[in-house]
């Protein structure tokens, strides 16, 4: 037998690719998009609360955020699945919320840095004009903070995409899980796992280039 054919079989590669693209990639993209939306919204809310809330609220809130940020995503997925699976039928929904909340803690730090980067003069001008606090945040602070943090937020979105394989611990059929299932069925892991990695590369690299261009444009 040709050694190269025993290592790589194009027929198996062709057989697993549709499943990777139509099943695994679909779940991966859904989890990434929805998880990113959760993290973007909650991250901004967390950053504002930590900046504006009284110390009695902000301090314990910060402890919770740091606890989530400092514990592994895999542990959070397993724990949440054990606790919530009796109340929520969709394991995918649990995974998406865990992923989104985990990255909320990172994006909150990015937003905080963006808020801190707003010039002091902008705050003073809003105070001099007697603008309501809500309008100051909505019209002045938040738009500038988001503009300053877009590249970093985009990088975290890419990281989230690449961390969806951790869903394997709660048996969600994302990209890597589909590859593993094919490998265990046909005893051909090389083609499936290699193609899964290439799909991740093909999906994330163009986004990375786009973020670099955006970063240069905003610099």
Q: What local confidence, expressed as pLDDT, does residue 219 receive?
A: 60
Domain membership of residue 127 (yes or no) is yes
Domain membership of residue 186 (yes or no) is no
- Express as a percent the part of the chain with pLDDT over 70: 97
- Model confidence pLDDT, tens digit, residues 6-15: 788 899 999 9
- For 194-199, what is the mean pLDDT? 93
Q: What local confidence, expressed as pLDDT, does residue 218 receive?
A: 66
* pLDDT surpasses 60 at 3: no
Domain membership of residue 31 (yes or no) is yes
* Summary mean pLDDT of the chain: 88
* pLDDT surpasses 60 at 138: yes
Domain membership of residue 192 (yes or no) is no
Task: Identify which of 180, 174, 167 has the alpha carbon closest to the alpha carbon of residue 203.
Answer: 174
**pTM, whole model, 2 decimals?**
0.86
Tell me the residue range of the domain where 60 lies.
Answer: 26-171
d(CA 48, CA 142): 9
- Token pair of 19, please? 């499943």
Q: What local confidence, expressed as pLDDT, does residue 16 receive?
A: 93
Domain membership of residue 114 (yes or no) is yes
d(CA 105, CA 62): 10
d(CA 39, CA 101): 6
Domain membership of residue 207 (yes or no) is no
Count of domains in the chain?
1
Domain membership of residue 178 (yes or no) is no
Q: What local confidence, expressed as pLDDT, does residue 2 receive?
A: 47
Give the helix/strand (H/E) hosting 126.
helix 120-128
- Model confidence pLDDT, tens digit, residues 19-49: 998 888 889 999 999 999 999 999 999 999 9
Q: What local confidence, expressed as pLDDT, does residue 99 receive?
A: 96
Find all residues with CB under 8 Å of 192, minimum gap 6, and list them. 12, 16, 20, 178, 179, 180, 182, 183
- Token pair of 123, please? 């705050």
Find all residues with CB under 8 Å of 23, minimum gap 6, and list them. 173, 178
Question: How many CB atoms sit inside 10 A of residue 203's CB?
Answer: 17
Domain membership of residue 40 (yes or no) is yes
Question: How many CB atoms sit inside 10 A of residue 26's CB?
Answer: 15
- Model confidence pLDDT, tens digit, residues 98-132: 999 999 999 999 999 988 888 888 888 888 887 88
- For 188-217, what is the mean pLDDT? 86
Which domain CATH number covers 55?
1.10.3720.10
């Amino acid at each position: 037998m040709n050694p190269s054919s025993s290592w790589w079989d194009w027929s198996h590669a062709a057989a697993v690719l549709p499943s990777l693209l139509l099943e695994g990639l679909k779940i991966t993209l859904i989890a990434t998009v929805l998880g990113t939306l959760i993290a973007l919204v909650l991250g901004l809310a967390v950053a504002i609360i930590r900046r504006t809330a009284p110390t009695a609220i902000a301090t314990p809130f910060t402890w919770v955020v740091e606890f989530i940020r400092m514990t592994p995503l895999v542990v959070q997925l397993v724990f949440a699945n054990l606790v919530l699976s009796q109340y929520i039928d969709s394991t995918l929904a649990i995974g998406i919320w865990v992923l989104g909340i985990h990255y909320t803690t990172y994006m909150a730090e990015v937003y905080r840095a963006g808020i801190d980067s707003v010039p002091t003069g902008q705050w003073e001008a809003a105070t001099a004009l007697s603008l309501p606090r809500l309008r100051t945040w909505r019209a002045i602070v938040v738009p500038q903070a988001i503009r300053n943090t877009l590249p970093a937020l985009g990088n975290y979105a890419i990281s989230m995409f690449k961390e969806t394989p951790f869903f394997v611990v709660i048996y969600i059929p994302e990209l890597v899980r589909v590859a593993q299932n094919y490998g265990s069925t046909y005893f051909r892991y090389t083609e499936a796992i290699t193609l899964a990695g290439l799909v991740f590369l093909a999906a994330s690299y163009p986004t990375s280039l786009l973020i670099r261009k955006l970063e240069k444009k905003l610099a």
